[in-house]
């Protein structure tokens, strides 16, 4: 069992690393254990380039996905991504989903957009934070509820009433809610035909095949990041160990330069002279803002490693340094040596491009 974590503010190369580990594992199962459908993990495999949000990053290779109770799911986004997968992949697709996954509604996207205009905290804009916020106030909607039409219809009505009464949805009425939900209803029916709904014990006899794919990065962790510009999720290995305490190793991933998408604390910010980055997944957008870059901050990486050691302790640790081809003069061995005072990595990998063939082990 392996865990893949980002050491920065996200965008480190976790999708590539997960895809690589799938290629080294027999019948792998990729477990998404934090965040949700707001992730954007780019994988290039067999001529296809895909940005994974609602599926694990081994899907192009035929790896099964397990969507854990720690992850939100948005049926509309799920179906949009499903249709974007190659037909050959869809034919053999296998995805299982914990019955306790929180479900995002179109209304959550509206709330997300309204609150971002007010707060300017930085957000992907797909309703993840709004979903978590209402769930914390007990306005829950779970995947298991979608199996019972009367149940989830009643819950949606209660959620809508709550959002309207608390002014989270301004100038809205139930007619608006009904219109917004039309596409969602269809997406729910389609998604339920594709996924297998299970409980967490589903994984218990499959430990040797599990690859836990983290989302975002440790510096965005809700407990350790720089509030208020954090994600509403634990981005360390904490929840992976809650699900399965017998992990064998962690792969910590960082680019060879620093990035941050959107507002918030960041050191060494500058416009780097990057190469081979024409297909960068993360562009400036309306809600999240600018994709920022800068020289790598070793102390921030050490801080991220220290945060995760609250959970990982003596487990074997590896380092993956990506985007080596994008920054002239990048020195992965020097980076490894700088981090050695915090972690003496068992293995070190570098990536000189977006494909599996671009990854090589240097230690």
Q: Report domain extents, the chain.
A: 2-99+197-361, 106-194
Catalytic residue among 27, 37, 41, 221: 41
Residue 200's pLDDT band, with cuts at 50, 70 and 90, is: confident
Of 30-34, 95-99, 239-243, 359-363, which gets the smallest average pLDDT?
359-363
Higher pLDDT, 155 or 341: 155
Sheet holding 210-213, edge to edge: 196-198, 95-98, 64-67, 29-32, 210-213, 2-6, 249-255, 316-322, 347-351, 359-361
* Mean predicted confidence (pLDDT) in 334-348: 91
Among residues 11, 98, 110, 325, which one is catalytic?
A: 11
Average pLDDT over residues 316-329: 95
Residue 50 among the catalytic residues: no
Just give the CATH number of 2-99+197-361. 3.40.440.10
The Cα–Cα gap between 315 and 5 comes to: 14
106-194: CATH topology: Adenylosuccinate Synthetase, subunit A; domain 2 (1.10.300)
Task: Answer yes or no: are the C-beta atoms of 152 and 145 closer than 8 Å.
Answer: yes
Model pLDDT, residue 286: 66
> What is the rounded average pLDDT of the residues 237-252?
93
pLDDT of residue 117: 56
Residues 6+ apart with CB under 8 A from 122: 116, 229, 261, 262, 263, 264, 287, 288, 289
11 is catalytic: yes
């Amino acid at each position: 069992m392996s865990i893949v974590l980002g050491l920065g503010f996200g965008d480190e190369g976790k999708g590539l690393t997960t895809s690589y580990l799938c290629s080294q594992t027999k019948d792998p199962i990729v477990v998404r254990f934090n965040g949700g459908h707001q992730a954007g993990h780019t994988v290039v495999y067999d001529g296809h380039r895909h940005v994974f949000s609602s599926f694990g990053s081994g899907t192009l290779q035929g790896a099964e996905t397990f969507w854990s109770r720690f992850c939100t799911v948005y049926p509309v986004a799920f179906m949009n991504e499903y249709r974007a997968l190659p037909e050959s992949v869809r034919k053999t697709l296998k995805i299982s989903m914990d019955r306790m996954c929180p479900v995002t509604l179109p209304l959550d996207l509206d709330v997300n957009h309204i609150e971002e205009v007010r707060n300017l905290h930085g957000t992907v804009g797909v309703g993840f934070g709004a979903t978590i916020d209402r769930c914390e106030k007990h306005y829950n909607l779970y995947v298991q509820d979608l199996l019972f039409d009367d149940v989830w219809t009643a819950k949606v009505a209660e959620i809508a009433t709550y959002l309207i009464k608390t002014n989270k949805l301004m100038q809205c009425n139930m007619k608006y809610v009904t219109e917004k939900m039309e596409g969602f209803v269809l997406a729910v029916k389609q998604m339920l035909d594709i996924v297998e709904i299970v409980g967490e014990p589903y994984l218990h006899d499959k430990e040797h095949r599990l690859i836990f794919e983290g989302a975002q990065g440790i510096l965005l962790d809700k407990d350790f990041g720089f509030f208020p510009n954090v994600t509403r999720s634990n981005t360390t290995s904490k929840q992976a160990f809650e699900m399965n305490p017998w992990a064998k190793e962690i792969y910590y991933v960082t680019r060879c330069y620093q990035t941050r998408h959107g507002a918030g604390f960041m050191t060494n910010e500058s416009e780097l002279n990057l190469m081979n980055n024409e297909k960068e997944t993360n562009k400036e957008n309306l809600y999240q803002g600018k994709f920022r870059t800068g020289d790598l901050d070793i102390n921030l990486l050490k801080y991220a490693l220290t945060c995760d050691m609250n959970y990982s302790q003596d487990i074997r640790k590896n380092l993956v340094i990506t985007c080596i081809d994008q920054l002239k003069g990048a020195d992965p061995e020097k980076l490894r040596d700088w981090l050695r005072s915090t972690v003496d990595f068992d293995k070190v990998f570098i990536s000189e491009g977006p494909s599996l063939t671009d990854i090589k082990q240097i230690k």
